[in-house]
Structure 1
Amino acid sequence: MRIGIDLGGTKIEIIALGDDGRTLLRRRTVTPQGDYMATVMTLAGLVEAAEAELGRRGSVGIGIPGTESPTGGLIKNANSTCLNGKPLRRDLQAVLQREIRLANDANCFALSEAVDGSGQGAEIVFGIILGTGVGGGIVIDGKVIRGANAISGEWGHNPLPLPALDDLPLPDCYCGRQGCIESYLSGPALVREHFNRHGQQLDVAEIDRRASAGDAACESTLQRFEQRLGKALAGVINILDPQVIVLGGGLSKMTRLYRHLPVCCGPHIFSDVFQTRFEPPKHGDSSGVRGAAWLWN
């Protein structure tokens, strides 16, 4: 039995998978806010409760909104800031008395979709998260690529390529830089962009709905978003050349992206053909937690 946990900023989800990938158990709870030790004990409690309910012990993999430093084993780059600088894996191993595997949540998402999702059978899968933040994970031949600095797939903190006049001034990013892809392409960035240009405080789903109904302001906002996303992803494609890019996160639910992205990426691709597929996640919101379980695949 494989247990996976998706540690999010507001919720924690646990899943138990059988050897055949069948879901044996799934639970959710709220994430303790700003309290590291409460988070550790909540994670351990979820594992212990799941094993008690199922009557067996399992391997444990955890997806986190950051990554583990390859030098000191401390968490870095987590937008759940109470995790940063903490030895999360070591602390959990001490409580649960077993080895824990831990990976960035976008890596878990990509792994899930590569194993038995929309990228199944592909040599190279790039899984991206378009939500509160912008992240990514790379899976090659079924294996997550972590990298020398444990930052593989972090395309959201590259600068937006070829900024146009519409992209200026460069927005501030929480990482301390300016003009990061995440500061243009996250959900909050899209909402802020629409408000700043049109004075309408709308969420992403409503912007998408109104654009589909012919609202010119919402349509222009989404066209700018798609052009920026196309340029940003073209840079990744020119380096990785994945067969499949799987889109996750709240913005991936905009079905127009799957029609428009090939057109928006195409002019920036260094090739006479462009065959990369853009796919929604087969496992939807459950992909990250399933990928955490598959860290023991």
Structure 2
Amino acid sequence: MRLGIDWGGTKIEIIALDDDGRELHRERVATPRDDYAGCIEAVAGLVEQAEASTGQTGTVGFGIPGSISPATGLVKNANSTWMNGKPLDKDLEKRLGRPVRIQNDANCLAVSEATDGAAAGCHFVHAIIIGTGCGSGIAIDGKALRGANGIAGEWGAIPVPWLKPEEFPGPSNWLGHPGAIDHWCSGTGFQADYRSRGGTALKGHEIMELKRAGDPLAAATYEAYASRLARAMAMAANLMDPDCFVLGGGMSNVDELYEDLPKLMAPYIMSDHYEVPIRKAKHGDSSGVRGAAWLWG
């Protein structure tokens, strides 16, 4: 049995999978925010419940909104900031009494979809989360690509390429970098751009409903968003040339993107022919936690 845990800023979720990927158990609890020790205990409780429910002992994989630094062995770049600077893997291994495997949550999305999801059978998968934030992960032959310094797939920190004059320099992201992908290509950035154009505070699906009804402000916001995401993905295509892109997060439910992105990417692709599928994550919100379980593949 494989246990996967998705440790997010608002909830911690566990799933138990058998060898065929069949779900045996699932549970979630609220994340004890700003309480590192409390989070460790919440995880231990979830593992105990899962194993009591199934009558089995499992391997444990974690998806976290950051990564373990190979230089220090401590968590870095986590937007759940209370885990930064902590030896998370060692603390979890001590509390659970077994080895654990930890990857960035976007890498877990990539692993999940490459294993038995929308990109099953693809050699090189670039998975992109377009939700509250915007990050990406890479799976090669179903295994997460961590990189020499644990930052492979940190695509969101890069500015949107081929900026238009009216876009420069762009709003700052959480690190203070202007025009970054993780702001402009996120669902949060989509909503913020709509407000900056004079719109009210609406959720992404509400803006899309207005766009479909012919509202010009919503349409202009969507067109700008799709263009920026397409340019960012074209850069990834030129750099890595993956076999498949997979989109997850709330904005992945915007069906128009799957028709519009290939056309919008085309002018920026350095090839006379480019045809790579862009697919919605098959497992949706479950992809991260499933991918954490599949870290023990």
Q: TM-score, normalised by structure 1?
A: 0.98
1:13-51 residue CA offsets vs partner (Å, 9 max, x unmatched): 100000111100011111111111111110111001111
1:245 equivalent to 2:245? Answer yes
Tell me if the contact between 2:169 and 2:178 (Cα under 8 Å) persists in the aligned partners: no
- Give the aligned residue type for 1:160: V
The CA distance in 1 between the partners of 2:7 and 2:62, in whole Å, is 7
> Does the residue aligned with 1:72 lie in a helix, a strand or coil?
coil
1:262 equivalent to 2:262? Answer yes
Shift of 1:179: 2.0
Q: Which moved more, 1:44-53 or 1:109-118?
A: 44-53
Unaligned runs of 5+ in 1: none
1:126-160 residue CA offsets vs partner (Å, 9 max, x unmatched): 00100111111111122211001101111100111
Q: Which moved more, 1:158-167 or 1:119-128?
A: 158-167
% identical aligned pairs: 51
The CA distance in 2 between the partners of 1:28 and 1:208, in whole Å, is 30
Q: Identify the residue that residue 31 of structure 2 maps to in structure 1.
A: 31
The CA distance in 1 between the partners of 2:266 and 2:12, in whole Å, is 38
The CA distance in 2 between the partners of 1:90 and 1:142, in whole Å, is 25
The CA distance in 1 between the partners of 2:264 and 2:218, in whole Å, is 18
The CA distance in 2 between the partners of 1:66 and 1:137, in whole Å, is 12
Unaligned runs of 5+ in 2: none
1:37-83 residue CA offsets vs partner (Å, 9 max, x unmatched): 11111011100111111111100000000011012211000011111
Q: Identify the residue that residue 45 of structure 2 maps to in structure 1.
A: 45
Q: Identify the residue that residue 171 of structure 1 maps to in structure 2.
A: 171
Q: What RMSD, in angstroms, separates the aligned Cα atoms of the two structures?
A: 0.9
The CA distance in 2 between the partners of 1:141 and 1:292, in whole Å, is 16
The CA distance in 2 between the partners of 1:231 and 1:46, in whole Å, is 41
1:183-242 residue CA offsets vs partner (Å, 9 max, x unmatched): 211122111111111232111010111111111110110000000111111010111111
Q: Identify the residue that residue 145 of structure 1 maps to in structure 2.
A: 145
> Does the residue aligned with 2:278 lie in a helix, a strand or coil?
strand
Q: Identify the residue that residue 103 of structure 1 maps to in structure 2.
A: 103
Segments of 4+ moved more than 6 angstroms: none
Matches within 5 A, 1:87-98: 87-98=87-98
Q: Which moved more, 1:104-113 or 1:138-147?
A: 138-147
Q: Identify the residue that residue 191 of structure 1 maps to in structure 2.
A: 191
> Does the residue aligned with 2:294 lie in a helix, a strand or coil?
helix
> Does the residue aligned with 1:198 lie in a helix, a strand or coil?
coil
The CA distance in 1 between the partners of 2:69 and 2:169, in whole Å, is 33
Q: Identify the residue that residue 130 of structure 1 maps to in structure 2.
A: 130
> Does the residue aligned with 1:296 lie in a helix, a strand or coil?
coil
The CA distance in 2 between the partners of 1:237 and 1:220, in whole Å, is 25
> Does the residue aligned with 2:272 lie in a helix, a strand or coil?
coil
Q: Identify the residue that residue 219 of structure 2 maps to in structure 1.
A: 219
Tell me if the contact between 1:243 and 1:275 (Cα under 8 Å) persists in the aligned partners: no
Aligned length: 297
The CA distance in 2 between the partners of 1:14 and 1:75, in whole Å, is 20
Tell me if the contact between 1:76 and 1:85 (Cα under 8 Å) persists in the aligned partners: yes
1:144-177 residue CA offsets vs partner (Å, 9 max, x unmatched): 1100110111110011112112313421111232
> Does the residue aligned with 1:210 lie in a helix, a strand or coil?
helix
> Does the residue aligned with 1:3 lie in a helix, a strand or coil?
strand
Q: Identify the residue that residue 272 of structure 1 maps to in structure 2.
A: 272
- Give the aligned residue type for 1:52: A
1:101-146 residue CA offsets vs partner (Å, 9 max, x unmatched): 0000000000000001110111111001001111111111222110
Q: Identify the residue that residue 16 of structure 1 maps to in structure 2.
A: 16
Q: Which moved more, 1:162-171 or 1:142-151?
A: 162-171
Shift of 1:265: 0.6
Matches within 5 A, 1:194-205: 194-205=194-205
Q: Identify the residue that residue 84 of structure 1 maps to in structure 2.
A: 84
- Give the aligned residue type for 2:217: A
The CA distance in 2 between the partners of 1:287 and 1:127, in whole Å, is 11
The CA distance in 2 between the partners of 1:176 and 1:86, in whole Å, is 24
- Give the aligned residue type for 2:44: A
